[in-house]
Amino acid sequence: MNVNKSTDCVPSELKELIRIIVLNFYGFDFYVCIEYLMIYLCLREEDLAEMLKLDPKIVHEHLFTLKKDKFLNEKLTVDIQKDGKHIKHHLFYINYISAVNMIKYKIDKIRERIENEELKITESVYKCVNCSKVFTEFDLKEIFITMRCSRCYGEIREDIHQFRNLLPMFNTKMSRVFELLKKVDQINLPLSVLRPVAHSEHLIHRKPVLTDQINYVRKEDLKTKDLEILKSCEKKNFKNDKDNEENVFAKLLKYEFKQIKFNNDQFVFSLDKEADEKNFPTIIVNGKTIRFDKITPELTDEMNEREKEAYINVISDLYYQVYDNF
């Protein structure tokens, strides 16, 4: 009976299993990528290419091949630069549970194919030991009595097709993989392994973007920390320096929510009025709740530092949801 086993780290058997499969079925470059992801847990695509001293295009192809085969998961982050530009970064980490399931599936498919090929081979072939002349089952009437070659009178033996030994050979070669699969079956991995945080320290302030392509986003990553665009403004001069403030908000206000229409090939968003009133984002100004579309430059002047930071976060979220998906 299989019993669920819990562990706080990745078992060595599970790592060995993935190493064997990737090295033998994908190649050494793929193996090195997996090895670094086992060490650092979660890495940016460009950081991994720099560590391996490989062409970023090659690393990109390897990572997306492993992602396609369910060995890796991808997480997307966005950097907000001081000039307001947004730079996307792709981070990858190993999906151990999905990798084990994919290995089981692939091995079962290989075994099934070998068995089907063996069933197709029904004709026996015989070969002369001396001159290597080949005889089929239809030629047995000539050699059955003596089992001698009709040409050189040499001894006749059955020529066992090499493919008939392929399944036992496959089971022998994959015995270590089968053994590891039994050991890692029903293992429960911690959340820190299933959804790792980026290894690089400079990625701490990046804000994850929710898209259909992202498998996992940590809840704590959804809180914006130290928005880069505000770092150029000193806190003690934030309220008094109106020129600085207007420059910052001029860049942000251009990303305000816009109504999108389309004819034939373009998308149309038709929002129900009641749902719009209920779900439309609101901003706190001097303790008062105000709809986002009612915010004016005069109201932004009345915001304190915390309210301004919340207002900027709402603008950024709306920008990602409206523009990055089209």
Q: Provide, rounded to the nearest whole percent, the portion of the chain with pLDDT above 70.
A: 64
Do 10 and 70 fall within a single domain? yes
Task: Single out the residue in 145, 171, 197 at which a domain terminates.
Answer: 171
* Contact status, residue 102 vs residue 82, Cβ threshold 8 Å: no
209: CATH: 1.10.10.10
pTM: 0.47
> How many structural domains is the chain composed of?
3
Do 305 and 259 fall within a single domain? yes
- Residue 181 predicted with pLDDT over 80: yes
* Residue 178 lies inside a defined structural domain of this protein: no
CA–CA gap between residue 7 and residue 13 (Å, rounded): 12
Do 53 and 117 fall within a single domain? no
Cβ-in-10-Å burial (0-12, 13-18, 19+) of 183 comes to middle
Do 203 and 238 fall within a single domain? no
Give the 3-state DSSP-derived string for 141-171, with helices as H, strands as E and coil as C. HHHCCCCECCCCCCEEEEECCHHHHHHHHHH
Do 31 and 70 fall within a single domain? yes
Rounded average pLDDT over 203-229: 43
pLDDT for position 321: 66
Rounded average pLDDT over 16-22: 94
Do 130 and 192 fall within a single domain? no
Rounded average pLDDT over 232-248: 51
CA–CA gap between residue 135 and residue 61 (Å, rounded): 50
Rounded average pLDDT over 234-250: 52
Do 54 and 198 fall within a single domain? yes
103 confidence band (pLDDT: 50, 70, 90): very high
Do 95 and 198 fall within a single domain? yes
- Residue 108 predicted with pLDDT over 80: yes
- Find the domain containing 118 and state its range: 109-171
Do 132 and 281 fall within a single domain? no
Q: Provide, rounded to the nearest whole percent, the portion of the chain with pLDDT above 90.
A: 24
Question: What single string gives the DSSP state of each residue in 253-264?
Answer: HTTS------SS
pLDDT tens readout for residues 261-283: 444 444 444 444 444 555 667 78
pLDDT tens readout for residues 123-137: 677 788 888 888 877
Do 198 and 88 fall within a single domain? yes
* Contact status, residue 188 vs residue 5, Cβ threshold 8 Å: yes
- Residue 96 predicted with pLDDT over 80: yes
pLDDT for position 245: 55
